Structures are given as structure tokens and as C-alpha cells.
Amino acid sequence: MNEEEKLIHTFYSSFQQKNWKGMGECYLDDAFFYDPVFGNLEGGRVKAMWEMLLTNAKDLELTYANIRSEDGYGSCEWTATYTFGPGHRRVTNKVRAYFAFDGGRIAEHQDEYGLWRWSAQALGLRGLLFGWTSPAQQKIRRMARARLDGFLASKGVAGQGITSPL
């Protein structure tokens, strides 16, 4: 296992332990992150997203496998199972993660999964019927980003490094 593969392992081991601080230490301070729910996040917002998600995770189960890296790039497959939202819906999210490294830390991280599949599980019939549409997906992203903004505001850091392509 090379150093970048060890870093991915450290990241997901921390994720399993709900150790958002350990996950954050794997990123550069100006790291870039993308996933279908949050869209583009940069810098401190990346770390804050993981803090928010893991602080609120009550029954998260996470597995990861197929860690690979070469020439400054890496990938991993991971699956998270958890209860989502006020409806307490059980979600199993299968994700393919891609990484770019710089100086022994994660510079870029992209998670790839089907937003429609996620919304069908997380939102039930509404997600199944409408989760594939652009307006529904935009609403999901707006709500996720608003939740992150509220989390940051509660910590007194709202306005710092906030960017939104949506």
C-alpha cells in the first residue's frame, strides 16, 4: 500500500469512527469537494460538511474497498447506510470516490452516485417520482447547502469562504 492509499484508508477509517477531525486532517486547507447533493464546496466548507454530517449521524454504518492510487490520483468505493430525515428512512448509498493529492493530503475529492437513487430512498415516493428532475435536484442541493450554511452560522463562521455555483 502506497502513501496515498494509506491516506485514503485513514480517511475512511476516520469516517467509520465518525471522527470528522481525522477526516479533515486528510484534506489540504483549500481542498475542493464535489458530490451530487452538496455540489461544489471549497476549503473550510468541506471539513464543516463532514463535521455536520457526522455530528448528526446516529446509526451510520460504513464500508469501503478497492482503494487504488497512482501518479497523484486515487479512487475508492464506499457504502454508507444510515437513517435520513424526519421520516427516518433507511438509505444505502453506494459511492465511487475520486481523489487528487498534493503534498501527502487530499487536494480534490469527488463522490459519484445517483442522486435519483439517493432521493428515492431518502425522500420516499416524492423522491422516486420527481428525484430525477432538475428542479427537484436543485431543491435538494439548495436545502443541503442551506443546512450547511446554518451549521456554519451556528459556529459563528458564516460568510467565510462561502461560494455557491447554484
The residue type found at 34 is Y
Distances (CA, A) of 44 to 39, 47, 76, 142, 163: 15, 5, 23, 19, 11
- Per the confidence metrics, is the pTM higher than 0.85? yes
Contact (Cβ atoms closer than 8 angstroms) between residue 106 and residue 47: no
Instruction: Tell me if residue 88 falls in helix, strand or coil.
Output: coil
Q: How far is Cα 42 from Cα 30, in angstroms, rounded to an integer?
A: 6
Domain boundaries along the sequence of the chain:
3-114
Percentage, residues of the chain above pLDDT 70? 95
Top CATH class, 3-114: alpha beta
Contacts of 151 (CB under 8 A, 6+ apart): 48, 51, 52
For the segment 29-41, what is each residue's pLDDT rounded down to a tens digit?
999 999 999 999 9
More confident residue, 159 or 71: 71
- Adjacency order of strands within the sheet including 73-84: 39-42, 27-35, 105-112, 89-102, 73-84, 61-70
pLDDT tops 90 at residue 98: yes
More confident residue, 125 or 138: 138
Contacts of 133 (CB under 8 A, 6+ apart): none
Closest by Cα among 62, 29, 59, 61 to 46: 29
Overall size of the chain counted in residues = 166
pLDDT tops 60 at residue 60: yes
